Amino acid sequence: MPENVYKPIMADLLEIKPETPTIKTFRIAPEQPVPFRAGQFVQLTVPGVGEAPFTPSSSPSVDKEMEITILRTGSVTDALHAMTNGGPLGVRGPFGKGYPTEKMEGHNVLVVGGGVGLAPLRSLLHYLFEHLDDYKRVAICYGAREPSELLYRDCFQQWAGYDNVSFDVTVDVPDETWDGKVGVVTTLLEDFDFDIAQTYVVSCGPLIMLRFVTLTCLNAGFKPEQIYLSMNRKMSCGFGKCGRCNIGPFYLCKDGPDVCYDKIKDYKDAFSV
Ligand SMILES: Cc1cc2nc3c(=O)[nH]c(=O)nc-3n(C[C@H](O)[C@H](O)[C@H](O)COP(=O)(O)OP(=O)(O)OC[C@H]3O[C@@H](n4cnc5c(N)ncnc54)[C@H](O)[C@@H]3O)c2cc1C
Ligand code: FES
């Protein structure tokens, strides 16, 4: 990070890959490496427009380039989606703690993603695939509203092909191209056959999905301390100063954004924006 934490590192925009009608993956090369842990986030600046927080979707073992998968939703993301290769962009960070990958070693990891929520989880998946010997099994459950909204379809076969990794996908509403599973993502958890005591759950997606994933896991016998949720709030500074992102005493920018459910379960606003 530069000495002035508000000053971004400039970055070239190398490639833009459309994923769905509203989501694109941006591959960028910062002027100096930006090492990050899976789950940490950066503030991405579009000069003249503003900045917004995003979690890289690429492997944390690569620090010279970074991929970020972005849903078009407002001013900064509209500007990003309108860009062509070149840039320039700015990057601040990384911020937050990242996923507790060391704590999960020797256990099963159940990764549950919804919609664009698979993007931050993809950096965790890269990490797990690169360290599979350190984990028992990895199960990926992914859901999207409809087939055209599924991210990374070209990766599914590869992910399902790793030893001790399973990949399951469902859509809420099928179309004529879809012959896979239909139903919300929590229906995939019904087939789950891991030893629950030996498993951590990591989930990212819309808040309503996180709430139901949490309820389903608790009903199945998981303890709150086994469940990690990516809680995305509006953020500004990124390091605990502006007070925009807290749940109770927890600042999601510095204590999260992936938080153990045990830490937030007693706060009524945990699942509201
Ligand atoms: C730690 C973190 C990681 C994130 N990672 C990703 C990612 O990998 N990919 C991705 O597509 N998005 C991600 N987001 C969400 C992303 O930051 C917002 O979509 C973005 O800030 C919208 O900026 P905008 O200027 O385009 O929209 P604005 O013009 O600011 O707002 C447009 C709409 O989006 C809502 N909005 C703004 N910020 C957020 C937010 N943080 N969460 C939910 N709704 C919001 C606004 O209320 C408004 O309705 C992440 C958010 C956080 C906090
Ligand atoms: S974003 Fe400023 S305190 Fe968290």
The minimum-distance atom of ligand 2 relative to the CA of 53 is 1
Residues 79 and 113 in one domain: no
pLDDT band at 273 (very low <50, low <70, confident <90, very high): low
Two structure tokens written together for 42: 């950066």
- Nearest ligand for residue 251 CA: 2
Supply the mean pLDDT for the chain: 93
pLDDT at 46: 96
- Nearest ligand for residue 36 CA: 1
What is the spatial distance between Cα 33 and Cα 194, in angstroms, rounded to a whole number?
A: 38
- For residue 145, the domain's CATH number is 3.40.50.80
237 lines ligand 2 (CB under 6 A): yes
The answer as to whether 21 is a domain residue is: yes
- pTM confidence score: 0.94
The answer as to whether 1 is a domain residue is: no
Phi then psi for 88, rounded to 5 degrees? Answer: -85, 160
Residues 122 and 196 in one domain: yes
Q: Using DSSP bridges, classify how beta strands 50-54 and 181-182 pair: parallel, antiparallel or unpaired.
A: unpaired
The answer as to whether 238 is a domain residue is: no
226 lines ligand 1 (CB under 6 A): no
Residue 41 CA to ligand 1 center (angstroms) comes to 12
Nearest to 214 by CA among 273, 224, 206, 205: 224
Residues 157 and 69 in one domain: no
Rg of the Cα atoms in the chain? 18
Amino acid at residue number 148:
S
Two structure tokens written together for 2: 């530069």
Residue 204 CA to ligand 1 center (angstroms) comes to 14
The answer as to whether 130 is a domain residue is: yes
The answer as to whether 255 is a domain residue is: no
Residues 21 and 74 in one domain: yes
pLDDT, tens digit (0-9, with 9 covering 90-100), for 96-135: 999 999 999 999 999 999 999 999 999 999 999 999 999 9
pLDDT at 3: 67
What is the spatial distance between Cα 111 and Cα 130, in angstroms, rounded to a whole number?
A: 16
Residues 105 and 179 in one domain: yes
- Written in H, E and C, the secondary structure of the chain is CCCCCCCCEEEEEEEEEEEECCEEEEEEEECCCCCCCCCCEEEEEECCCEEEEECCCCCCCCCCCEEEEEECCCHHHHHHHCCCCEEEEEEEEEECCCCCHHHHCCCEEEEEEEHHHHHHHHHHHHHHHHCHHHCCCEEEEEEECCHHHCCCHHHHHHHHHCCCEEEEEEECCCCCCCCCEECCHHHHHHHCCCCHHHEEEEEECCHHHHHHHHHHHHHHCCCHHHEEEECCCCCCCCCCCCCCCEECCEEHHHHCCEEEHHHHCCCHHHHCC
Residue 221 CA to ligand 1 center (angstroms) comes to 32
The answer as to whether 126 is a domain residue is: yes
The minimum-distance atom of ligand 2 relative to the CA of 236 is 1
Residue 138 CA to ligand 2 center (angstroms) comes to 32
What is the spatial distance between Cα 176 and Cα 43, in angstroms, rounded to a whole number?
A: 39
Residue 234 CA to ligand 1 center (angstroms) comes to 7
Residues 49 and 122 in one domain: no
Among the candidates 55, 73, 94, a domain finishes at 94
117 lines ligand 2 (CB under 6 A): no
The answer as to whether 244 is a domain residue is: no
Q: How far is CA 166 from CA 86, 102, 129, 162, in A?
A: 37, 21, 12, 8
Residue 138 sits in which domain range?
Answer: 101-230
pLDDT, tens digit (0-9, with 9 covering 90-100), for 15-33: 999 999 999 999 999 999 9
Residues 62 and 107 in one domain: no
- For residue 57, the domain's CATH number is 2.40.30.10
153 lines ligand 2 (CB under 6 A): no
Q: To which residue do tokens 């000069």 refer?
A: 47
235 lines ligand 2 (CB under 6 A): yes
Residues 26 and 77 in one domain: yes
Among the candidates 39, 67, 94, a domain finishes at 94
Residues 215 and 146 in one domain: yes
Looking at 12-16, 183-187, 189-193, which range is the least confident one? 189-193
Among the candidates 94, 126, 146, a domain finishes at 94
What is the spatial distance between Cα 16 and Cα 25, in angstroms, rounded to a whole number?
A: 6
Residue 96 CA to ligand 2 center (angstroms) comes to 10
Residues 79 and 198 in one domain: no
The answer as to whether 241 is a domain residue is: no
Domain count across the chain: 2
Residues 112 and 226 in one domain: yes
234 lines ligand 2 (CB under 6 A): no
pLDDT band at 238 (very low <50, low <70, confident <90, very high): confident
236 lines ligand 2 (CB under 6 A): yes
pLDDT at 2: 55
Residues 147 and 222 in one domain: yes
Residue 149 CA to ligand 2 center (angstroms) comes to 30
Residue 71 CA to ligand 1 center (angstroms) comes to 8
